[in-house]
Chain A
Amino acid sequence: MTEPLLRVIDLKTHFRTKASWMFGEKQLIKAVDGVSFDIAPGEVLSLVGESGCGKSTVGRTLTHLEQATSGRALFEGRDFLVMSPNEFRPLRREIQMIFQDPFASLNPRLKIEQTLGEPLFIHGLCKTWDEARAKIAVMLETVGMDPLVMKRHPHEFSGGQRQRIGIARVMILKPKLVIADEAVSALDVSIQAQVLNLLKKLQQDSGVSMLFISHDLGVVRHISDQVAVMHEGKIVEIGRKRQIFEAPQHEYTRKLLESIPRVKIGKEVA
Chain B
Amino acid sequence: MALLEVQDLEIAVRTKGKLLPVVQGVSFDVDDNETLGIVGESGCGKSLTALAIMGLLGGTTVRITGGNIRFDGMDLLTLSDGERRSIMGNRMAMIFQEPMTSLNPVYRIGDQIIENIRQHQKMTNAQARDRAVELLSLVRIPNPSERVDSFPHQMSGGQRQRVMIAMALSCDPKLLIADEPTTALDVTVQKEVLDLMADLQTRMGTAIVLISHDLGVISETCDKVAVMYRGRVVEAAATENLFAELAHPYTRGLLNSIPVVDSDVDWLEAIPGRVPTLEEELTGCAFHPRCALVTKLCATSVPQETEYKPGHSVRCHFSGKVAP
Is A259 in contact with B274, judged by CB distance below 8 angstroms?
Answer: no
Q: Which of A51, A158, A266 contacts B244 (CB 8 A)?
A: A266
Give the residues in chain A near B2, CB-CB below 8 Å.
Answer: none
The verdict on B56 contacting chain A, using a C-beta distance below 8 Å, is no
Is A50 in contact with B187, judged by CB distance below 8 angstroms?
Answer: yes
Is B261 in contact with A257, judged by CB distance below 8 angstroms?
Answer: yes
Cα–Cα, bound, A219→B256 (Å): 13
Give the residues in chain A near B243, CB-CB below 8 Å.
Answer: 263-267
The verdict on A205 contacting chain B, using a C-beta distance below 8 Å, is no
Is B215 in contact with A263, judged by CB distance below 8 angstroms?
Answer: yes
From residue B139, how far is it (CB to closest CB) to chain A in Å? Answer: 18
From residue A13, how far is it (CB to closest CB) to chain B in Å? Answer: 21
Cα–Cα, bound, A158→B280 (Å): 13
Is A262 in contact with B260, judged by CB distance below 8 angstroms?
Answer: yes
From residue A21, how far is it (CB to closest CB) to chain B in Å? Answer: 12
Q: Which of A86-122 contact B (CB under 8 A)?
A: none
Q: Which of B40-74 contact A (CB under 8 A)?
A: 41-42
Cα–Cα, bound, A193→B215 (Å): 14
The verdict on B27 contacting chain A, using a C-beta distance below 8 Å, is no
The verdict on B255 contacting chain A, using a C-beta distance below 8 Å, is yes
Interface residues on B, range: 35 or more
Instruction: Mark the stretch among B199-207, B263-271, B314-322 that contacts chain A.
Output: B263-271
Contact with B along A246-270 (1 / 0, CB 8 A): 0000000001110111111111111
How many A residues touch B, CB cutoff 8 Å?
40
Give the residues in chain B near A218, CB-CB below 8 Å.
Answer: 258-261
Is B42 in contact with A188, judged by CB distance below 8 angstroms?
Answer: yes
Cα–Cα, bound, A106→B115 (Å): 44
Cα–Cα, bound, A138→B309 (Å): 49
Is B257 in contact with A189, judged by CB distance below 8 angstroms?
Answer: yes
The verdict on B191 contacting chain A, using a C-beta distance below 8 Å, is yes
Given A190-B270, A196-B259, A245-B261, verify A269-B240 contact (CB < 8 Å): yes
The verdict on A28 contacting chain B, using a C-beta distance below 8 Å, is no
Give the residues in chain A near B221, CB-CB below 8 Å.
Answer: 261
Give the residues in chain A near B186, CB-CB below 8 Å.
Answer: 50-51, 215
Is B245 in contact with A255, judged by CB distance below 8 angstroms?
Answer: no
Contact with A along B212-230 (1 / 0, CB 8 A): 0111110111000000000
Cα–Cα, bound, A197→B257 (Å): 10
The verdict on A222 contacting chain B, using a C-beta distance below 8 Å, is yes
Given A51-B186, A197-B268, A263-B219, verify A269-B213 contact (CB < 8 Å): no
Known: A218-B260, A222-B264. 10 other contacts (CB 8 A): A22-B153, A190-B253, A193-B268, A194-B270, A194-B272, A218-B258, A260-B216, A263-B243, A267-B240, A270-B240
In the assembled complex, 15 residue pairs joining A and B whose CB atoms fall closer than 8 Å, in A order, are: A189-B257, A190-B274, A193-B259, A197-B270, A217-B187, A221-B259, A241-B264, A245-B261, A259-B190, A261-B191, A261-B219, A262-B216, A262-B219, A264-B243, A268-B244
